[in-house]
Amino acid sequence: MAREGDFFRMILGFRSYSLGSHVHWVPLMDVYEFVDKFVILVELPGVDKEDIDITLKDGFLKISGVRKEMYNENRVRIHQMEMSYGYFERIIDVGNVDERNIKADYKDGILVITIFKG
């Protein structure tokens, strides 16, 4: 029986995507593949470290979280609003990796995830 991840790889046919209407914005991301590892960089300015969730299951890396609005009081009059807030999610097909060997670092609004291949 095929794994769930294999099914999504077959149907979707691409390596990175976001799912669901609950996603309010999609952060920019770079994915580098080396001989022995993947390195993923995600732009998350304004997101608190505690609001970021990283999960790796069946060859899929899911990065999700929330960027909270700075001023969400009803009395505030907004003149211009270009930044996106709310829930975000990115899912990356990393294939056969060592799910026990993943490192993450978050500094200056950039999340760096290193996943070693299995």
* DSSP-assigned beta bridge partners for residue 66: 87
Average pLDDT value for residue range 14-26 = 62
- Per residue in 71-106, pLDDT (tens digit) is 777 767 788 888 888 999 999 999 989 999 999 999
**Domain assignments of the chain as residue spans, ordered by start:** 4-117
pTM, full prediction: 0.79
What pLDDT does 11 receive?
44
Q: Which of 13, 116, 99 is nearest to 59 (CA)?
A: 99
Report the alpha-carbon distance of residue 8 to residue 6 in Å, rounded: 6
Q: Where are the beta strands (DSSP E) in 1-118?
A: 16-17, 29-33, 37-43, 52-57, 60-67, 86-93, 97-107, 110-117
Report the alpha-carbon distance of residue 25 to residue 41 in Å, rounded: 17
Average pLDDT value for residue range 43-72 = 93
The reply to whether CATH 2.60.40.790 applies to domain 4-117 is yes
65 to 2, 19, 47: CA distances (angstroms):
29, 13, 8
